[in-house]
Amino acid sequence: MTDKSPVTGALEKLIAPLSADEFFAQYYERSVFRSPVKHPDIVDLLSLDRIDEIISDSELPATAIGMAKSGQGLESSEFIGGNNAVDRGAVLDNFRNGATIILPQLHFADGKLYSFCLGLEREFGARVQTNVYLTPPEAHGFGVHYDNHDVFVIQVSGAKEWEIYGSRDGLPFRGEGFRKGVDETGELKEKFVLSAGECLYVPRGTAHRAPNHGNEPSLHITVGILVQTWAEFMLEAVAEASLRIPAMRNSLPRDMFFDRDKALAEHAGMFRQLSDELAAKADFETTLNVFSGNFVRAQGPRVRGALLALAEGIGSDDVLHVRDHILYSFETTPAADGEGEELQIVLSGSSIPLSDKLGAQLQERLSSGSLRKSQFDVSDAEELEDVIGTLVAYGLLIR
């Protein structure tokens, strides 16, 4: 069994006819880009029939659905019952009366969307999520606003009339949501209709609105790019360096908040001293290891086909492939007995310790893209069996 992403070259199809280099150099985090190219396989990620199935037949916790109408979200009591269960009839009745159905994080419940997101994560070096919006004719879910993360919009069916306004001064942090009546949106700059099969990129901080267009419901997928910033990286660097700077753990002077003149005269010097020491001791490579390790661990698993492989058994000469888009890394950590270091492979949900001999061979085989157990020259056959089985179970290897 093989595991193919439903959309190969996902980014290229979202931004066609641009290349990835052109997109990142000219548009990313800068300006809106509307792709003029329609790709049927992008539209095939989702359908009205699939939304109908999810609402009618799927397990649907209260957090898995939201609704909005005329520029603001509906109170959950409008479609969630007293037992915290989704009132499916109320959802559809609200939709009938002009409310947008919102399915947040649907990629966690849909294999096609999830594989699509995994492919984009490697392109952006960031977590990727989906929110799905089904808007009835002649309606809109939200008013003019901007998002605090970059988005790609995939119009699956129907059409939306997009209005593009100004951009805020400076990209927002993830926690800086749009404040209606407080944040400026600027003047209307551009207006166009996004039709089925078309894709749109909107950088974070660019204000927009998208009412429905025409007499059909609009179904679109918003793909959110949840980047990490240099500010977050530098905060981690400070935290890591603080472990080697004892003075960073001292409490602030008791009078610093109450005697401003004394603070400026005496305590500002300590601030400068600590800043200099941080500059000298903050380590890029150590911070990078922390960030990359956390990024790998936080990637959700993709285990389709693993159960069948484990149930049937994995023979010595069975070929196992490295699954597309699944992240892994090799790290050295202090040994459990406190003597020296040990190698481990890190992937979503698991860290597996390795003997030196198996670790070296495994790195080589994984980098080639495929392996068989019979290719390994190890004395501990039980360790090999356990490690390969675990890599199958956690989705890195697929038969």
What per-residue confidence (pLDDT) applies to 227? 94
- Split into its structural domains, the chain has a count of 3
Q: How far apart are CA 60 and CA 87, in angstroms?
A: 10
Residues of the chain with confidence (pLDDT) below 50: 1-6
DSSP H or E run through 157: strand 150-157
* DSSP 8-class letter at 69: E
Q: How many CB atoms neighbour CB 4 within 10 A?
A: 8
Based on the fold, state whether residues 244 and 185 are members of the same structural domain. Answer: no
User: What is the pairing mode between strands 190-195 and 159-167?
Assistant: antiparallel
With contact defined as beta carbons under 8 Å apart, do 45 and 112 qualify? Answer: yes
Based on the fold, state whether residues 208 and 247 are members of the same structural domain. Answer: no
What per-residue confidence (pLDDT) applies to 60? 87
Based on the fold, state whether residues 27 and 84 are members of the same structural domain. Answer: yes
- Residue 39, in any domain of the structure: yes
Give the domain range for residue 209: 10-226
What per-residue confidence (pLDDT) applies to 8? 64
Based on the fold, state whether residues 45 and 167 are members of the same structural domain. Answer: yes
With contact defined as beta carbons under 8 Å apart, do 174 and 129 qualify? Answer: no
Q: How far apart are CA 153 and CA 221, in angstroms?
A: 6
Of 266, 288, 310, the position where a domain reaches its end is 288
Q: Which of 106, 131, 127, 115 has its CA nearest to residue 302?
A: 115
With contact defined as beta carbons under 8 Å apart, do 295 and 327 qualify? Answer: yes
Based on the fold, state whether residues 49 and 176 are members of the same structural domain. Answer: yes
Based on the fold, state whether residues 38 and 130 are members of the same structural domain. Answer: yes
Based on the fold, state whether residues 36 and 70 are members of the same structural domain. Answer: yes
What per-residue confidence (pLDDT) applies to 71? 77
Based on the fold, state whether residues 190 and 69 are members of the same structural domain. Answer: yes
Amino acid at 325: H
Residue range 28-40, pLDDT digits in tens: 999 999 999 988 8
Q: How far apart are CA 66 and CA 189, in angstroms?
A: 30
- Residue 240, in any domain of the structure: yes
Of 202, 226, 250, the position where a domain reaches its end is 226
Based on the fold, state whether residues 50 and 65 are members of the same structural domain. Answer: yes
Residue 74 has φ and ψ, to the nearest 5°, of -80, 145
Q: Which of 187, 188, 183 has its CA nearest to residue 168?
A: 183
- Residue 5, in any domain of the structure: no
Q: How far apart are CA 120 and CA 222, in angstroms?
A: 13
Q: What angle do CA 247, 253, 259 make, to 5 degrees?
A: 145
